[in-house]
A and B are shown apart, each in its own frame.
Chain A
Amino acid sequence: EAGVAQSPRYKIIEKRQSVAFWCNPISGHATLYWYQQILGQGPKLLIQFQNNGVVDDSQLPKDRFSAERLKGVDSTLKIQPAKLEDSAVYLCASSLVFGAGANVLTFGAGSRLTVL
């Protein structure tokens, strides 16, 4: 089966600019996650969708980050305006059913953001 697709793979912007990342999960996976991975650290959950509804966005900096999954399939993550500390890899993952529980997350290759 096709994996989780993400684009762009790399993006360089200046602070205060905006950026958007796109994710296409594995077909049939109801749950979609966006993680932020800062260099040298483990992934940190930003937002979790179940179909097109938000399950958990408690760690999403809502003053600058937004995400949507309008039709319950693809998702976009937007940052506006970007700060230097937003430099990280943004990972999208999907799982078959709700909850990370015993349902293994499949990750995409990530989108690496550099903010200058």
Chain B
Amino acid sequence: GESVGLHLPTLSVQEGDNSIINCAYSNSASDYFIWYKQESGKGPQFIIDIRSNMDKRQGQRVTVLLNKTVKHLSLQIAATQPGDSAVYFCAENILGSARQLTFGSGTQLTVLP
């Protein structure tokens, strides 16, 4: 069935290093993707989104890359900080549809001092 999955459940990086979180999706019709960050005890918080007509989108310290050929997207965090420690979810949808937003299972990012 449809799924949005992550390659690694946990990721540990040194403070100051760059982080890369990967996500695979299976629905080739999906054309809109979002990354959410969820800190302990809080709800998911929007980080960045990308539409399928783009391959790359940059935000503040974050970059999302989309490879539609292999149905893969990644979230890159530059100069990772302790405050970046959280679970990161990718989610996908089809613009203009009533289809629900589908979340992956998440990657726990831990920033080491």
Among the 9-residue stretches A11-19, A63-71, A73-81, A100-108, the one with 4 or more Cβ atoms under 8 Å from chain B is: A100-108
The reply on B8 being an interface residue by CB < 8 A is no
**Contact between A40 and B105 (Cβ–Cβ < 8 Å)?**
yes
Q: How far is the CA of A40 from the CA of B97 in the complex (A)?
A: 28
**Contact between A100 and B101 (Cβ–Cβ < 8 Å)?**
yes
Q: Would you give the 0/1 interface string for A19-46, flagging 1 where the beta carbon is closer than 8 Å to chain B?
A: 0000000000000000000001111110
Residues of B contacting A: mostly: loop
User: In the complex, which residues of chain A have a beta carbon less than 8 angstroms from the beta carbon of B45?
Assistant: 107
**Contact between A99 and B97 (Cβ–Cβ < 8 Å)?**
yes
Most buried by B among A45, A93, A102, A108: A102
**Contact between A42 and B46 (Cβ–Cβ < 8 Å)?**
no
Selected contact of B100 from candidates A41, A48, A104, A109, CB within 8 Å: A48
Q: What size tier do the contact residues of chain B reach?
A: 20 to 34
User: In the complex, which residues of chain B have a beta carbon less than 8 angstroms from the beta carbon of A110?
Assistant: 42-43
**Contact between A102 and B98 (Cβ–Cβ < 8 Å)?**
no
**Contact between A101 and B95 (Cβ–Cβ < 8 Å)?**
yes
**Contact between A102 and B42 (Cβ–Cβ < 8 Å)?**
no
The reply on B1 being an interface residue by CB < 8 A is no
Question: Which residues of B does A touch, CB under 8 Å?
Answer: 4, 32, 34, 41-46, 49, 51, 89, 91, 93-101, 103-106
Question: Which residues of A does B touch, CB under 8 Å?
Answer: 4, 40-45, 48, 55-56, 91, 93, 98-102, 104-110
